Amino acid sequence: MTRGLSIKFWPDSERPRERLLERGGDAVSDAQLLAILLRTGDQGISALDLAIQLIDRFGGFEGIDRASVPELTELKGMGPAKAAQVKAALEISWRTGRNDEINKTTLHCGSDVHRFLSPAMASLAHEEFRVLLLDTKHRLMREVTVSRGTLSGTAVDPREVYTDAIREKAAAFVCGHNHPSGDPSPSPEDHALTARLRESGWIVGIPLLDHVIVGRQGYFRYDEEDWPTLK
C-alpha cells in the first residue's frame, strides 16, 4: 500500500510525475495530475490522497474550478498557496481552450453571443461582466472579463470597457453578463449601464452592438428590445 505515504517513498513506476514523464499524459489519472501540481500533502496524507479528496468533494476539475479559495482550503493540507497553484493551472487550461474557440468565432446576433458565453457563465454563483471585442467583420478578437462581483451584482466602469476596446483597435463590441438567480430579466441598473455604454460608444466611435444577459432559464438581449436611453 502506498496511500498515506509520502510520494517520495513510492516505487518510481507509481509516482505520478515519473509516470507522466515516462508514459505521457494519457497514462495518469485526474488525481495523479492534480497530485503533480500539489507536490506535497500533509502529515499522514500524500499529495495523491489530497488530490483524491479534492476530486471527491468537488466532483472533478470543473467543480474545483468553481469552488472558492476558502472552500478549497477547508481540506486539511490545502493552504492558500496550493489553492492558487490549482486555480492557476485550471485557468491556463481554460484560456487555452477559449483562445482556440475565439479564433474560430464570428458573432452576428444575440443568439451567437449567448451560445459563446453561456457554457462558462450560466452556472456561475457570482455575477461577471464580459466584453467581446469585434473586428469589422464581427469576428471575435478578444474576450475581456471587466468585473467579477457577488451573487447580487457587479460594478462596471464604462471607462474600463473602452480602454480595452481602444487598445485592441476594435471596430465594435458586444457585452454580456450573467444573473446567478437564473432569471435573465434586466434590472434598472442593467438598463442604465447599457444606456451609458451605448452612448459612450457613439462618442468614441466604437459602437455597442448588443448586450446579452445570460441565465439558466434562457437569455435576454437588448438588441431585440427598445434600447434604453439615459434619463
Percent of the chain with pLDDT over 90: 29
- How many CB atoms lie under 10 A from the CB of residue 97? 10
Phi and psi torsions of 130, nearest 5°: -125, 150
Please report the pLDDT score of residue 166 as a whole number: 92
Q: pLDDT, tens digit, for every residue of 15-65?
A: 777 777 777 767 778 888 888 888 888 887 888 889 999 999 999 888 888
Is residue 93 pLDDT above 90, yes or no? no
In angstroms, the CA 59 to CA 56 distance is: 5
Q: What integer pLDDT is reported at residue 149 of this predicted model?
A: 75
Q: How far is CA 185 from CA 107, 122, 149, 159, 215, in A?
A: 22, 14, 18, 25, 9
Radius of gyration of the chain (CA): 22
- Express each pLDDT in 126-141 by its tens digit: 899 999 999 998 988 8
Helix, strand, coil distribution of the chain in percent, nearest 5: 50, 15, 35
**Rounded (10°) angle between helices 110-121 and 80-102:** 160
The neighbour count for residue 37, using CB atoms within 10 Å, is: 15
pLDDT by residue (tens digit) across 158-167?
A: 888 898 899 8
Higher-confidence residue: 83 or 19?
Answer: 83
Backbone angles phi, psi at 128, to 5 degrees: -130, 150
Instruction: Give 8's pLDDT tier (boundaries 50, 70, 90).
Output: low
